[in-house]
């Protein structure tokens, strides 16, 4: 039964990624399409794994690696977060402080502060886990053009899956989009792109 669920999840994730990519290409209401900038990113006000309120402004001056997912994700999110942690470990020690890895839940109903604290700690002590109210999370989801939708069916244990796009976003020191990585991107490739962004100032 688990194999069937995972197979279905894989199909849904691919579909979600396609939808998410389409949403990137279309500017949001009121945005100019002629600027040449990708309309990904924006303000957020969430709560980290220590219970402290955090806004996007706090990370200005540093690069952000932002990944959206949820702690009950069976395998896709663990892979994405492992890649992020390994990529940062590959950076020279002096550069690691210039990059902030951030995991934003798309399932705030289950991903409480306590759940996020235990979860992100399993990947890296540098990883910041963000949750919040449904409205606050949805604001961040919209700003980053993330696709996320609760699956209709439940697992045998009564849990549910959340279909979501699986890109990792590299955001600049000013909070603007620089690049994105799929799960096929290796930690070495990700680290190389981060290093280039750090070198660019």
Q: What is the pLDDT of residues 154-192, one digit of tens each?
A: 766 678 999 999 999 999 999 999 999 999 999 999 999
- 3-state secondary structure (DSSP) of residue 140: helix
Q: What is the pLDDT of residue 201?
A: 74
Output the pLDDT for position 36: 56
pLDDT of 147 above 50: yes
* 98 compared with 26, residue with greater pLDDT: 98
Greater confidence (112 vs 21) lies with 112
pLDDT at 124: 95
Q: Tell me: the pLDDT tens digits for 47-70?
A: 999 999 999 999 999 999 999 999
Q: Is 95 exposed, middle or buried (0-12, 13-18, 19+ CB in 10 A)?
A: middle
Q: Which of 52, 16, 17, 48 is nearest to 151 (CA)?
A: 16
Q: Are 56 and 177 in contact (CB under 8 A)?
A: no
Q: Which residues are 179's β-sheet partners? A: 170
């Amino acid at each position: 039964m688990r194999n069937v669920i995972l197979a279905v999840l894989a199909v849904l994730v691919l579909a979600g990624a396609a939808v998410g990519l389409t949403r990137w290409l279309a500017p949001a209401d009121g945005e100019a399409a002629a600027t040449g900038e990708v309309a990904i990113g924006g303000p957020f006000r969430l709560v980290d794994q220590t219970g402290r309120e955090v806004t996007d402004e706090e990370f200005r001056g540093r690069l952000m690696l932002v990944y959206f997912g949820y702690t009950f994700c069976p395998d896709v999110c663990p892979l994405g977060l492992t890649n992020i942690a390994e990529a940062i470990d590959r950076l020279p020690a002096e550069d690691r402080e210039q990059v902030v890895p951030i995991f934003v839940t798309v399932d705030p109903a289950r991903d409480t502060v306590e759940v996020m604290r235990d979860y992100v700690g399993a990947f890296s002590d540098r990883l910041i886990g963000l949750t919040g109210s449904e409205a606050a999370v949805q604001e961040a989801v919209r700003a980053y053009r993330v696709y996320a939708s609760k699956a209709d069916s439940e697992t045998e244990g009564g849990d549910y899956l959340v279909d979501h796009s699986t890109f990792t976003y590299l955001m600049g020191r000013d909070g603007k989009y620089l690049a994105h990585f799929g799960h096929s991107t290796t930690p070495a490739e990700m680290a190389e792109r981060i290093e280039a962004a750090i070198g660019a100032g």
